[in-house]
Amino acid sequence: MRYFWMAGLVGIIILASAVRAEHAAINLRVIRVDSQTREEKDEINTTVVHQEPPGENVEQRPLFKARVGEPLVIQFILTNTYPHGEKKDVRIRYFVVREAKAKQKTVPDPREGGVAQGRFTLNYKPKCRVGVRQTFTINEPGSYLLRVQTENTDSDHEHFAAIEILVEK
Amino acid sequence: MNDHMVRMLSLSCAILFFQAASGPARADHFTIDLEVKAPKANRMVHAETLGLGVKTKPRAVLEIQAGDKITIKWILASTAKDVVKDVQIQFYAVKTSKPGDPPPPPREFDKDAILQTALTMDFKPKDKTEGELSLQVNKPGTYLLRLETKGAAVGPDDHEHFATLDVIAR
C-alpha cells in the first residue's frame, strides 16, 4: 500500500513538472545602429525567460541606454520548446512602450504610448519559431519597456522576456 | 487523313493534355489578405503565385507622408486539401530605389530591411495565421512590402505564394 502511494506521488510530481514545463526560449536583443552605414554598434541582449505568474524581479531587468532619435533595432527569435503537441491560435506579441516610471512592475498598455509593436497568431507546434527584426527610434526621453510575450497557450502561465530602455536627450 | 494532319492532331492533343495536367498543379493552396493602413489612405492586396512561367501583376502603390505610422495586417489561410508541413511565412519592408523594383535576395536577417518577420507552421486544411505590425516610416523613399511563403512548393503544388505592394513616403 505504501508503494502505491509513493508511485502516485511520483506520478503527480512528474505531471506537475510537465504542466510547468517551459514553452518558449527567447533570444531578445536591442541593437544600436549607425544612421549612415546601418552597421551594428552595440547591444544588450537577454535569453532569460520569465513565467507569468509570478512575473520577474524588475531590478534584474537588463538596461539599455539610448539617445533621443537614435536608430535602434529590436531583434528576437522565439522557439517553442514545449514538446507535447500543437497548440492552436497562440499569440506572440512584442512591443516597446513608455513606462510611467523606470522598471515599473505593471506592464503598460502598448495601445497607449506604444513606439513599436506587433503580434502573430499561429498554431504553435513543437520547435516552431517566430522571428522579428525591426528598426525604430524613440523621440521622447524617458523609460521604455521592450517585451516579447506568449499569450493564449492554454496553460496556467505565459512566458516573456524583457529589456528596459532608458532614453536620454 | 495525311501525315501532316495526323501530326497536327497529335500536337494539339499534347498541348491540351499539358494544359489539363498543369491546371490543377497551379491551383492556389493559400489565400492572403495583406492590408496596409496609413493615417490618410489604405490599401489591400491579395495572393499571387510565384512559379516557373507565372507572370506577376504590376505592384499596387500606397502613398504616405514620411513620419507616418502605418499598420500592416495580414491573414494567410490554407485552402489545400492536405496538410502542408513546415511552411515559413516571411514578411519584410525594405527600401528600394523605385516602385516596381524586384525584391532583394533573401537573407536570414536583412540589415537593409526596416522590418522583417518570419514564423513557421504546419497548415491543416483551413488553418490560418495572422499578423499585425506597426511601423513608423521616418525617411522619404520607396519601400517594398512583401508577405511570402517558403516551403509551400511541395508535391503537386509547385509554386510559392506572395502578396506585395510599394509604399511611397513623400
Q: Looking at the complex, report in whole angstroms how far the Cα of residue A119 sits from the nearest Cα belonging to chain B.
A: 5
List pLDDT tens digits, range A17-76.
444 456 899 999 999 999 888 889 999 999 999 999 999 999 999 999 999 999 999 999
User: With bands split at pLDDT 50, 70 and 90, how would you rate the model's confidence at B54?
Assistant: confident
pLDDT, residue B9, reads 52
Picking from A38, A75, A129, the nearest residue to B120 by CB comes out as A129
Contact list in B for residue A134 (CB cut-off 8 A) is 114-116, 133, 135
Judge if the upstream peptide bond of residue A53 is cis by omega within 30 degrees of 0.
yes
Amino acid at B125: P
Contact list in A for residue B119 (CB cut-off 8 A) is 92, 120, 122, 128-131
Pairing of strands B69-78, B30-37: antiparallel
> Cα(B19)–Cα(A83) distance, rounded to whole angstroms?
45
pLDDT, residue B116, reads 95
Picking from B113, B122, B129, the nearest residue to A133 by CB comes out as B113
State the average pLDDT for chain A.
Answer: 89
Tell me: pLDDT of B62 over 70: yes
User: With bands split at pLDDT 50, 70 and 90, how would you rate the model's confidence at B168?
Assistant: very high
Q: Tell me if chain A has a CB within 8 Å of the CB of B44.
A: no
SS3 B8: helix
H or E element at residue A48: none
Residue A167 CB coordination number (10 Å): 22
CB contact under 8 A, A132 and B121: no
Query: What are the φ and ψ backbone dihedral angles of B22, each rounded to 5 degrees?
Result: -85, -15
CB contact under 8 A, B112 and A114: no
Tell me: pLDDT of A165 over 90: yes
Q: Tell me if chain B has a CB within 8 Å of the CB of A114.
A: yes
Nearest-CA residue of chain B relative to A40? B111
Q: What is the pTM of this model?
A: 0.84
pLDDT, residue B102, reads 86
Cβ-Cβ pairs closer than 8 A, A with B, add up to: 71
Pairing of strands A24-33, A40-46: antiparallel
pLDDT, residue A7, reads 57
Nearest-CA residue of chain B relative to A69? B138
ipTM summary value: 0.85
State the average pLDDT for chain B.
Answer: 83
pLDDT, residue B73, reads 98
The residue that leads in pLDDT, B6 or A136, is A136
User: Mind listing the domains of chain B with CATH numbers?
Assistant: 27-169 (2.60.40.10)
Strand partners, B110: none
Tell me: pLDDT of A9 over 70: no
Query: Which CA distances in Å does A144 have to A27, A47, A120?
Result: 19, 19, 22
CB contact under 8 A, B122 and A125: yes
Give the percent of chain B with pLDDT over 90: 61
Q: Looking at the complex, report in whole angstroms how far the Cα of residue B45 sits from the nearest Cα belonging to chain A.
A: 19
> Cα(B132)–Cα(A122) distance, rounded to whole angstroms?
12
Pairing of strands B113-123, B160-169: unpaired
User: With bands split at pLDDT 50, 70 and 90, how would you rate the model's confidence at B49?
Assistant: confident
**Rg, chain B, Cα only:** 20
**Residue numbers of B between 129 and 168 with CB closer than 8 Å to A:** 129-136, 138
> Cα(A164)–Cα(A146) distance, rounded to whole angstroms?
6
Tell me: pLDDT of B14 over 60: no
CATH superfamily of A22-168: Immunoglobulins (2.60.40.10)
SS3 A1: coil
**Residue numbers of B between 74 and 133 with CB closer than 8 Å to A:** 109-122, 127, 129-133
Contact list in B for residue A125 (CB cut-off 8 A) is 121-122
Cβ proximity of A160 and A22 under 8 Å = no
- Residues B48-69 have a mean pLDDT of 87
Which three cell numbers mark B90?
A: 516571411
